[in-house]
Structure 1
Amino acid sequence: MEFKIEHQWNSLPISHEPIIIKLTPGNAGILMEVSAPFFNDPPAPPGESGKSFNGLWDYEVVEAFFLNGQTEQYLEVELCPHGQHLVLLLSGKRKVCKQDLPLMFEVSRTSTKWNGKAHLPWSYFPPAFDKFNAFAIHGSGVNRIYEALYPAPQLEIQKEQKPDL
């Protein structure tokens, strides 16, 4: 399956080439491939490339969420163009059960684009997950941009509402 992130969290269109996420199931798990513009904003996190990095959501990142809507267990996968990653299993909103799960993650980058491949073992996923969303985050300070595969509908957004950080 291939998905394109073409909107900000609030349904406004993005102003750059869309981020593409491809999911390919296999016997051992799911191959998640990312193809995205490289913004290099903010700069690279201080963690080592190829390693898990807590707080990765504060940097340039593409995230995928796999949710069991009944139990509210979900797998959160964060991939960074600088090679860091973060994989969490949660039960309920922001209630971490397992963190820093190891990940085979490869990244290649030019000055304008990055590509990543992550192998997600089936054992990481919540049983019977039935919902999926993906996000891309980049930029610093007031220029921070939050993009969503399935954004909040404009008519449902409250005045002064911000993305769910």
Structure 2
Amino acid sequence: MSTSGRLGFGDIVPKSALVQEWDVARNEYLDEGYYCEIRKNWEGKKFSDEHGPIKISMKWHFERMMGKPHKRVIRVKIVAPFIDDPEPPSEMAGICPDLWNYECVELFFANNKGHYTEVEVGPHGHWLVLLHKGYRDCINNGKIYN
């Protein structure tokens, strides 16, 4: 458990099969969520005033499920300028390999062991989730495994 008075990611996820008090209690820091604005593109260039910044907000969502593990997800809201460059992928909406070659927003979630999850979301309903066990060492190639 964190001693700073604030819960970190590792403190949110139960450490054992037993339900901890902090696992079911409401927490003001989780309720606040996270918000940021990105004002420059990946090349470090500022967005024009007409496009404005990319706004990203994230919030934990807990759903109690009787007889099953509780569902924990991060809900992400992205508000971003639509540049329309390049053309959208030809694939139908859904999982899209190599989405980074198209217009998209990329989010990275990392732990202290060098593992990270890369989430890419495009404006046309395309998305991709990549799991990495080290820098650019992808273990799922965007495929979903149960």
Which interval holds the TM-score relative to the shorter structure? Answer: 0.5 to 0.7
Letter in 2 for 1:8: N
2:60 is the counterpart of 1:25 = yes
Count of matched residue positions in the alignment of Structure 1 and Structure 2: 100
Aligned to 1:93: 135
Q: How far apart are residue 88 of structure 1 and its match?
A: 0.8
Displacement after TM superposition at 1:29 (Å): 0.8
Higher share of residues assigned strand: 1
Task: Give the corresponding residue for 1:65.
Answer: 108
Q: Give unpaired runs (5+ residues) of structure 1.
A: 103-165
One-letter amino acid of the counterpart of residue 54, structure 1: P
Task: Choose between structure 1 and 2 for higher RCO, CA contacts under 8 A separated by at least 6 residues.
Answer: 1
Q: Which position in structure 1 is the counterpart of 2:85?
A: 41
1:82-161 counterparts in 2 under 5 A?
A: 82-101=124-143
Q: CA deviation at 1:8?
A: 3.3
Helix, strand or coil at the partner of 2:58: strand
The structural deviation recorded for 1:37 is 1.2
The alpha-carbon deviation at position 5 of structure 1 amounts to 0.6
Q: Unaligned 5+ residue runs, structure 2?
A: 1-33, 63-71
Structure 1: distance between partners of 2:43 and 2:85: 21
Whole-angstrom distance in 1 between the partners of 2:83 and 2:42: 18
One-letter amino acid matched to 1:47: E
Instruction: Give the number of the structure whose alpha-carbon radius of gyration is greater.
Output: 2
SS of equivalent to 1:17: coil
SS in 1 for 2:129: strand
Structure 2 CA distance for partners of 1:43 and 1:12, relative to 1, 3 Å:
closer
After superposition, the Cα gap between the structure-2 partners of 1:90 and 1:59, relative to the gap in structure 1 and judged at 3 Å, is: same
Q: Secondary structure at the match of 1:96?
A: coil
- 1:160 maps to what in 2? none
Over the matched positions of the two proteins, sequence identity in percent amounts to 36
1:5 alignment counterpart: 38
Alignment partners' CA distance in 2, 1:6 and 1:100: 28
